Structure 1
């Protein structure tokens, strides 16, 4: 009998976001585990997803593989495939619902079976998870990305704190172990669990970074100096700080040139004030622009051409944009929060997210002299920059301890 586990890898998050051209960090994690297993260990994985009826169903392997590859192509810029990937997702789940979904015979030749859920997608549906675990004699290992809705409810939708508590309670009740992306999240989960479960095995596996994709022909980089802010446009990301700084720079610049600001990310929730400034503030027109449908190569090109990445979030569970920018040797200015120190080490400039003058000084500093003089260079050695295959291997190795 092999000394490894048979895996039921849940790709519900990717299916729910089928056809979105820009992946979130959680999308990326789910994809990277699926991609690694397809490339290196496909014989021991069955892809699964939750159906509209609340059942976790076994997906036809060939169709799941095709869906994952279509998703990859969309993220790389083939946006004409968006309709195809949505249709593939719909047909795949539909066919899975019609099948009996019996446990694969090969699963019985492995030491154990693990149900691996790498998103928070349906953690608030413990009944569905319990039924699946019983049906396939599997153990449950989820990934917890953060506890932000519980710790900082002011940054969440009104009902989200209660929903996230339900998700974390499912983890504490059912999980045989938990993967987290940072020590910060580990500490948060241990605090939450201290009166409910004291023996929960947790493994910190930082997210990986991509090998830089080739820059698209023609590129998307403007000739004017610019900075990039990468992330969903929502209050927690603190875009208002940057927009107010940029308005002040424009209004008081006189004849001096003002760098542009490029906001890369989809619009999130309760962002009316942010959107109003972007769309209606006269001083920002032509200076601040949104890019919410960029492919991976286009985002890479933007980062490479920028004077720096600006990341003023109030709270994060990890912060993939920071590690991705450091991988490209891009100067980074980020919030002085614990998790960013964990990710960046000595390779970034840290400023309190409420310190407007400090951010202004850092931005102006990056505008002086050659950009090469500001690059992290050797300081990146202190940052947590690991390739995705290594991180997936570390996560999968943790499963064998269950």
Structure 2
């Protein structure tokens, strides 16, 4: 039996890894060599599976875009795309035909993108009956129903899927039009094809079960796999990276800049404080992450607001070494997201011993293990008071740091990989001196939830 690690999302990713891409790469790297079963990487391109060299696939550090260029181009593309969509949606909504027309356009776009996929010179993956196929990321350009059919029906292999969250279904207002319908189709296909579903938190497992029940599907066994929070080994900063570091005391917020992450609330806190006598004493807010969708208004507000623009620093294309330095040097960290399936930056910040103010929504209290100050993402006043106290009350901040250092137990990617193998009924090969894996929460015989 061979375990195939589906790597399409990461293989064609050309930026520093973040979010699900980081999870995929770190988990796969930790899995290799942990069991006697052979593991191979594969990608799905043009309706075929190709085996790729893991050494080449994992050497992503040299693929990073030149510093500064990606942000400008991304914002320019985002502005043009957002403006065109706004005009298009206006005329469609006037005629009451927005959704059906949009679904057809998305189908055409996906067919076109698949026709433009790069050619792969790697050999065809020899996926055989009885093999296992582990898929972690969700690439919006892949035809997952076709891929799953090829694995289960044609190759007679077994699929192990991964639920990170069901946010596009439960909170469609935070995503672009058409995302909910696409993700419902994806989650249905993933659930139906998988013999085991991995979930990154108890919260996500519960959300997944609710989705499965609402869709009238039969749930396969589900296992909870808490994510690792150890950053990859980091080296020295380049001169260019060192020049981009904050020059003053700062609060760190690591996240893609998108509406769901609630960057707007931090802007409103600082805008409200702008006339206060202590405003200039407030730390800079350092936002680390690439701009996502529907945030152009926020970025414009930050840039154009002369009263507070100097208090915000936006960094994109950040290497692991630079990210580790930013965590290490931050005064404290914040994460006001409206909802998360896990919340990797929260556990990463705690692993660096930092005090953290985070939302109380979704799985964030799980990610912090109760070691962060959790506040409703809708309570701007409470966030303002907490940020000011954490910034100005040195003793209070130190109390939180001491709590983190005494109570937070970092969970690394090796432990996550052990739990995955246990859930797959494969015995991990223990490394000398390592602790046993955390208990696996598996629902072995779930009833039909229809």
Moved more, 155-164 or 126-135: 126-135
Residues 202, 369 of structure 1: alpha-carbon distance in 2 compared, 3 angstrom cutoff = same
* 8 Å Cα contact 1:331/1:375 also seen in 2: yes
| Partner residue of 1:239 out of 231, 249, 263 | 263
**1:298-337 CA distance string (max 9 Å, x none):** 1111122112111100011110000000000111001122
Structure 2 CA distance for aligned equivalents of residues 268 and 146 of structure 1 = 18
Secondary structure at 1:116 match in 2: strand
1:32 aligns with 2:52: no
1:14 aligns with 2:10: yes
Instruction: Measure how far apart 1:375 and its partner are.
Output: 4.1
Residues 346, 253 of structure 1: alpha-carbon distance in 2 compared, 3 angstrom cutoff = same
Instruction: Measure how far apart 1:288 and its partner are.
Output: 0.5
**1:345-393 CA distance string (max 9 Å, x none):** 3311111111112111111111225476144334456546311111012
Secondary structure at 2:29 match in 1: helix
1:202 aligns with 2:222: yes
Structure 2 CA distance for aligned equivalents of residues 141 and 378 of structure 1 = 37
Structure 2 CA distance for aligned equivalents of residues 187 and 382 of structure 1 = 26
1:54 aligns with 2:44: no
TM-score normalised by structure 2 residue count: 0.76
Instruction: Measure how far apart 1:58 and its partner are.
Output: 2.5
Unaligned stretches of 5+ in structure 1?
A: 83-89
* 8 Å Cα contact 2:249/2:283 also seen in 1: yes
1:320 aligns with 2:344: yes
Structure 1 CA distance for aligned equivalents of residues 198 and 411 of structure 2 = 16
Instruction: Measure how far apart 1:256 and its partner are.
Output: 4.8
Instruction: Measure how far apart 1:236 and its partner are.
Output: 0.4
Q: What is the total number of aligned residue pairs between the two structures?
A: 373
Residues 31, 92 of structure 1: alpha-carbon distance in 2 compared, 3 angstrom cutoff = farther
Secondary structure at 1:154 match in 2: helix
**1:180-213 CA distance string (max 9 Å, x none):** 1011110011011125234420000011011574
Moved more, 355-364 or 313-322: 355-364
* 8 Å Cα contact 1:227/1:306 also seen in 2: yes
The equivalent residue for 1:87 is none
The equivalent residue for 1:114 is 132
**1:90-145 CA distance string (max 9 Å, x none):** 9995113xx45444xxx78xxx4111101122675212221133343310111111
* 8 Å Cα contact 2:8/2:44 also seen in 1: yes
Instruction: Measure how far apart 1:215 and its partner are.
Output: 6.3
Structure 2 CA distance for aligned equivalents of residues 169 and 384 of structure 1 = 35
The equivalent residue for 1:373 is 398
Structure 1 CA distance for aligned equivalents of residues 61 and 35 of structure 2 = 19
| Partner residue of 2:275 out of 247, 251, 266 | 251
Unaligned stretches of 5+ in structure 2?
A: 71-115, 427-443, 445-450
Structure 2 CA distance for aligned equivalents of residues 191 and 318 of structure 1 = 17
Structure 2 CA distance for aligned equivalents of residues 124 and 358 of structure 1 = 44
Moved more, 314-323 or 356-365: 356-365
Secondary structure at 2:120 match in 1: helix
* 8 Å Cα contact 2:231/2:348 also seen in 1: no
Structure 1 CA distance for aligned equivalents of residues 209 and 268 of structure 2 = 37
Structure 2 CA distance for aligned equivalents of residues 167 and 384 of structure 1 = 34
Structure 1 CA distance for aligned equivalents of residues 120 and 229 of structure 2 = 34
1:71 aligns with 2:60: yes
Secondary structure at 2:2 match in 1: strand
Secondary structure at 1:178 match in 2: strand
TM-score normalised by structure 1 residue count: 0.84
Structure 2 CA distance for aligned equivalents of residues 165 and 214 of structure 1 = 38
* 8 Å Cα contact 2:273/2:279 also seen in 1: no
Question: Aligned-pair RMSD on alpha carbons?
Answer: 2.8
Residues 101, 351 of structure 1: alpha-carbon distance in 2 compared, 3 angstrom cutoff = closer
The equivalent residue for 1:162 is 181
Considering Cα pairs closer than 8 Å and 6+ residues apart, tell me whether 1 or 2 has the greater RCO: 2
Alignment of 1:318-397 (within 5 A): 318-370=342-394, 373-379=398-404, 382-383=407-408, 385-397=410-422
Structure 2 CA distance for aligned equivalents of residues 157 and 186 of structure 1 = 24
Structure 1 CA distance for aligned equivalents of residues 344 and 258 of structure 2 = 16
**1:61-92 CA distance string (max 9 Å, x none):** 3xx32221x215657x998xx9xxxxxxx999
